[in-house]
Amino acid sequence: IALKGRTDHVKNPPKLELTLVDGGHVSPLVAPKEVLNFVREVISLSTKKEISSL
């Protein structure tokens, strides 16, 4: 998965699920709740992968 600011000039990454947040460069100061939710999602995916490999 990837995280990108709506007005950022970086191209969208190919073949990745993309989450857009307000602002340019992704910053917790611009969209704190959205960035925190994204971090939680990444942690959740990591935890699920570790559990399924046991």
Identify which of 9, 13, 37 has the alpha carbon closest to the alpha carbon of residue 25. 9
Asked if residue 10 belongs to a domain, the reply is yes
Tell if the pTM clears 0.75, that is, is over it: no
The residue with greater pLDDT, 46 or 28, is 46
Asked if residue 7 belongs to a domain, the reply is yes
Asked if residue 48 belongs to a domain, the reply is no
> At 33, which helix (H) or strand (E)?
helix 32-52
pLDDT at 17 over 60: yes
Domain with 6 in it: 1-31
Asked if residue 12 belongs to a domain, the reply is yes
- Residue 12: what residue type? N
State the chain's mean pLDDT as an integer. Answer: 84
The structure tokens 């990591």 sit at: 46
User: According to the model, what pLDDT value does residue 29 have?
Assistant: 74
Specify the number of domains making up the chain. Answer: 1
First to last CA, the chain: 23
User: How far apart are the C-alpha atoms of 53 and 32, rounded to whole Å?
Assistant: 32
User: According to the model, what pLDDT value does residue 47 have?
Assistant: 81
User: How far apart are the C-alpha atoms of 36 and 34, rounded to whole Å?
Assistant: 5
Asked if residue 52 belongs to a domain, the reply is no
